[in-house]
Structure 1
């Protein structure tokens, strides 16, 4: 059901997973969050069967390479481009979580074409954030090491993201069906104004609020999250 692939571009090898490759339905391309890997989405991929899914691990994460440099928005968008070029979907739904939202929107900004059938964006505003001073050490010592996630994202990647990320607010209109998933408890990264901005960017924007979740919706309301994704992209 799940197949593993490696694609090299610009000297960096990116790992991605596919499921149900013989399916004729429109596939779902998954852009994980900051420290997430493709493997963390296998359960969702299985839930959506028999739909084909494609999930990548961005540079510095999972089984993908960890280059010395190249952790800005453009390089992460290039990871998505490389996976799409290798997997060759004629069109796809695009789902992104947390920091992956900015990478997905960066791709959409660069490729405003009909290949993207719809967008699902989870708990992140329409912007690529620069990291504040001291963020890398805080993230490594208070999250990455205590929660044993060094194999999910390497410290070199965390420091590269801190050094190379430049703030950008996405302003291009989103001319797709859009579903924004939002946690309602403390810890959510989406404000009311962020949601209004999505409404201004997309006339087809809809919203799903998760009343019992902060930012990590998958760990608090997984069943409803998976069902919401399924219903939005079904039967296309």
Structure 2
């Protein structure tokens, strides 16, 4: 079922909550500029296995409200904390992809991992997001030809072949975001760093990263592994930035084993 959670006056986040009676809870945070729909191939499998799967669209993206401000990692992490409090979530596994991984890291640091028993970082945009050159190029395209920008992101996102219908679906998911929130997150990924957050993570952490990732280079994954205590790195040999889809059977199996 889907519903909205108010995180501040006038700002409601969309939450997809599948199998609320599940024995274990997994909270998914999508990447930029997508939505919880990117995890379709987890939500179609894991709830049937007995898991409660919660997907949260961050402010500005997917079906959530799209205010003009509030796109720092602190604010986005605080939004998640509000959802966790209102839904009274405890002992859940936190899965963050790309920028969602960066938000999850800030949540773990800023809120002392409240309610989280295990953390999964997938192609995480950490400790660095975009280089200034990449960010500025994306920002220019976003403000002048956002569909072209999204097509470029889609083209370099996957290592494995994707069909034209899949590409179209993926692009539309990204274009569901507001232009201003899409641009604001580019600036956040350019300007904010997460190095000081990593030593504060205090739960078992699984790091999954595609070795062919052209969005967030694989070289950042060993750095996360080194700086996060009690973490393990699993390289995905046939994935780019979309391990959750490109090697979804392996991904789903690893996730359930880790939980």
What residue is the counterpart of 1:144 in the other structure? 150
- Corresponding residue for residue 32 of structure 1: 30
**CA RMSD of superposed structures (Å):** 2.3
1:143, 1:106 → 2: CA distance?
27
Change (3 A) 1:78 1:208: same
For residues 48 and 83 of structure 1, the distance between their equivalents in structure 2, rounded to whole angstroms, comes to 21
**Distance in 2 between residues matched to 1:158 and 1:114, nearest whole Å:** 28
The residue number in structure 2 matching 1:213 is 239
TM-score (norm 1): 0.86
Instruction: Give the match for residue 18 of structure 1.
Output: 17
Give 1:33 deviation, angstroms. Answer: 0.5
Distance 2:176 2:98 in 1: 15
| 1:182 and 2:209 aligned | yes
SS at match of 1:208: strand
Q: What's the offset of the Cα at 1:227?
A: 1.6
Query: Could you tell me which residue of structure 1 aligns to residue 71 of structure 2?
Result: 71
| 1:7 aligned partner | 5
- Give the structure 1 partner of residue 167 of structure 2: none
Closer, same or farther in 2 for the Cα pair 1:160/1:125, shift >3 Å?
closer
CA distance in 2, matches of 1:9, 1:202: 29
Match of 2:229 in 1: 203
| Matched-pair contact (CA < 8 Å) for 1:127–1:167 | no
Give yes or no for contact 1:18–1:53 (8 Å, CA) kept in 2. Answer: yes
Question: CA 1:150–1:43 in structure 2 vs 1: closer, same or farther (change >3 Å)?
Answer: closer
Aligned to 1:133: 136
TM-score, structure 2 normalization: 0.79
Q: Whole-Å Cα distance in 2 between the matches of residues 48 and 179 of structure 1?
A: 18
Structure 2, unmatched stretches of 5+, are: 153-170
**Correspondence for 2:46:** 48
- Report the 3-state secondary structure (helix = DSSP H, G, I; strand = E; otherwise coil) of the residue aligned with 1:6: strand
Tell whether the 8 Å contact from 1:180 to 1:207 is kept in structure 2 after alignment. yes
**Distance change in 2, residues 1:164/1:199 (3 Å):** closer
How many angstroms apart in 1 are the aligned matches of 2:224 and 2:91?
Answer: 23
CA distance in 2, matches of 1:145, 1:60: 19
Shift in Å, 1:202: 2.7
Q: Secondary structure at the match of 2:33?
A: coil
Query: What is aligned with 1:115?
Result: 115
Matched, 1:232 2:258: yes
Alpha carbons of 1:219 and 1:27: their partners in 2 closer, same or farther (altered >3 Å)?
closer
How many pairs align? 229
Instruction: Report the CA distance between 1:217 and its aligned residue.
Output: 1.8
Q: Deviations over 1:89-143 (max 9, x none)?
A: 1221100101111100010011224621111101125325366324223352433
